[in-house]
Structure 1
């Protein structure tokens, strides 16, 4: 299936890493994925480096008409597929560029932001016409999409690649590359340097730790409009000699920072949905300190898998507690790692998304083409007097079909050709195909390979 993913912004943050991972995962499941990203931005650069097909567009916010032409090119250069929009600026452009009507591609929207969309305008119009909407935390779903049947949660997840990459980094070598003493207690902040990330709060808390803290070090990785102000504040607080301001770092740099850290801190002042950097730190067995806000509490349990804080005093107390209690740091890190392994792996997220997109395709795209990409998976058919039974052993699913539908399905199974189901007529064929897919009788080969554990 062809999937076009649009990503706005020049920056690189958790949202962009998540959507790149999603696009790469869908590609590895066998889908044809094309990313539309801003020329000169880090998403486009990352796609090029990974060999992922990418059409570069002018900035979505500043040159929407020119960006719309690139989106139209992506949509018209191959048969219809699914269109995924991921930010308010590319959503606005997609609404302008993507056709509406029976021949239009189904639209999927990912919402990462704590801020709701404006109530009018093209981005809202695209959201209103979307077939499927993904929030990235339960809190966001309840706050922004109450009682919306199209909306569901798809949280971020940590990839096997990332878990293996951080596991391979030697902590002593990482500390040396960062210019940090191997025995120093290291706090790390990995975030865009903008007001809502609360990096200034962390700096002030770091400066307030006091003499018992034994001179910890703070490493800040990220860039943004607040970079100069953060540097000035470190000097004003008298801690510039113990603060490392790295600016933007690549994947290798992020891995170094996480591995060299004893604790990763995110003191956001707005309702974060599910910050990926916290999950990546937890996956590496690091203690985390984070704001008690938004969706963070959905994967960080205070006192068990991290420390959640409210005001600045609580932030200081949490950071101080970690510097004074090595066993607390170890216990939080161990439990944090288990939380990610148990419920926040990227591969599971991508498999679920692949399932949801396949169902969407069955409902909306040319059915003969969709069925041609699927195959039957261990299906048994048994005729009855006036009906027939279809059984899927690996899912233990059983259904009874009327005799006409059963005859078509049984013949399709016998010929190993799901496309024959399309001969039932559009409405009946789509309903039957979706039923068979939900049962596990029909599946995508790439998804089956992933579930079996024999591949990604």
Structure 2
């Protein structure tokens, strides 16, 4: 079978985040099963094609439509129109392949399959569509007026798919309700994780635990909520260290955020109590989890699954995470960690203090993961 994976995020060039992790695992598993796999992903240069572990990867740069900003009406829809032009170019690329696809898996977000013919064998993997991101108060400021056009395009794309899947029941039901599609067309399939790579560490530090953040340096991921809590814990838990790992969707955004964090925690960084590691490649992440004793996922925006939770749990760490979206299906509250209300600094502080003060609780929850 020839499987085409149509998704902008694919490592290493566009490899950050849970969507890219799913795509890499899916493509590698399909190759191991004997299928031919072609990936159409975003990249800096058009026409770049390379083979990687038996996977053919085509890179397609997103269109730059900055001139639209000069137009009073169309300028309001620059982002959505850019995504729709990208979909058209991706469709042209797929149509030009020597071997026609038996299956095309595309993501829901950004409507990348919008221009594909409904006669093609399209399966949509649902991650987090724009309507859920826009509904989040933390993310609303980053979305312009063109969100409505993109939401319409995503809904139309969902409706023409032959099959859909989602990593959690929560996301599946939200999309069924939003798009008005039959539940029979939707399958709930949790994201896969390589548990031969993410394994518990041989030992942890009972008296001087390390709290680990892994994720995009983004307010929607609860970064500033966590920063406020770190300031409290630097005082109330003097033996605790904090490790912050992550980059940004855009290099300049990550750099600016990291600069703000370095300025805020200059003294703690100098004392070795706060570490800002920046982006860490996926192949090095298991070793990072082994350095930690507690993981934290304080998201404010919708999370369909949370790879960070799954990776931390597989690594034997208890997790303090937001009760939002599909996280409550990934993390069993009170068994593998603690679920807290989003944007609740007091609850997050209390949850982390509870884990910090009880090595036995950390061990029990870590084993349960």
TM-score, normalisation: structure 2: 0.77
Match in the other structure for 1:99: 117
Match in the other structure for 1:33: 37
Q: Specify the SS of the correspondent of 1:282.
A: helix
Match in the other structure for 2:281: 250
Matched, 1:55 2:80: no
> By how many angstroms is 1:54 displaced?
0.8
Matched, 1:19 2:23: yes
Matched, 1:297 2:348: no
> By how many angstroms is 1:182 displaced?
10
Structure 1, unaligned runs of 5 or more: 173-180, 337-456
Matched, 1:325 2:358: yes
Task: Decide which structure has the larger Cα Rg and report it.
Answer: 1
> By how many angstroms is 1:291 displaced?
0.4
Q: Specify the SS of the correspondent of 2:4.
A: strand
Pair 1:211–1:12, CA change in 2 (3 A)? closer
Q: Specify the SS of the correspondent of 2:41.
A: strand
> By how many angstroms is 1:57 displaced?
0.9
Assess if the C-alpha contact under 8 Å between 1:26 and 1:33 holds in 2: yes
> By how many angstroms is 1:144 displaced?
2.3
> By how many angstroms is 1:271 displaced?
2.1
Q: 1 CA distance for matches of 2:255 and 2:287?
A: 21
Superposition pairs of residues 114-263 of structure 1, within 5 angstroms: 115-116=130-131, 118=148, 121-146=152-177, 148-149=182-183, 150-159=185-194, 163-167=195-199, 184-209=208-233, 211-224=235-248, 225=253, 227-233=255-261, 235-236=263-264, 239-241=268-270, 242-263=273-294
Residues 243-275 of structure 1: CA deviation (Å, up to 9, x unaligned): 211111112331121111101101000221101
Return the structure number with greater helix share.
1
Residues 167-190 of structure 1: CA deviation (Å, up to 9, x unaligned): 497779xxxxxxxx9974111111
TM-score, normalisation: structure 1: 0.63
Pair 1:252–1:106, CA change in 2 (3 A)? closer
Q: 2 CA distance for matches of 1:121 and 1:211?
A: 49
Assess if the C-alpha contact under 8 Å between 1:219 and 1:244 holds in 2: yes
Assess if the C-alpha contact under 8 Å between 2:121 and 2:162 holds in 1: yes
Q: 2 CA distance for matches of 1:63 and 1:19?
A: 19
Work out the number of aligned pairs and report it: 316
Pair 1:227–1:315, CA change in 2 (3 A)? farther
Assess if the C-alpha contact under 8 Å between 2:124 and 2:161 holds in 1: yes
Match in the other structure for 2:145: none
Match in the other structure for 2:310: 279
Match in the other structure for 1:112: 127
Pair 1:170–1:250, CA change in 2 (3 A)? farther
Match in the other structure for 1:81: 102
> By how many angstroms is 1:121 displaced?
4.4
Q: 1 CA distance for matches of 2:152 and 2:236?
A: 54
> By how many angstroms is 1:63 displaced?
7.3
> By how many angstroms is 1:65 displaced?
4.0
Residues 329-383 of structure 1: CA deviation (Å, up to 9, x unaligned): 10110001xxxxxxxxxxxxxxxxxxxxxxxxxxxxxxxxxxxxxxxxxxxxxxx
Q: 1 CA distance for matches of 2:258 and 2:345?
A: 17
Structure 2, unaligned runs of 5 or more: 64-78, 133-147
Runs of 4+ with deviation above 6 angstroms: 168-172
Pair 1:286–1:31, CA change in 2 (3 A)? same
Q: 1 CA distance for matches of 2:129 and 2:324?
A: 10
Q: 2 CA distance for matches of 1:15 and 1:269?
A: 18
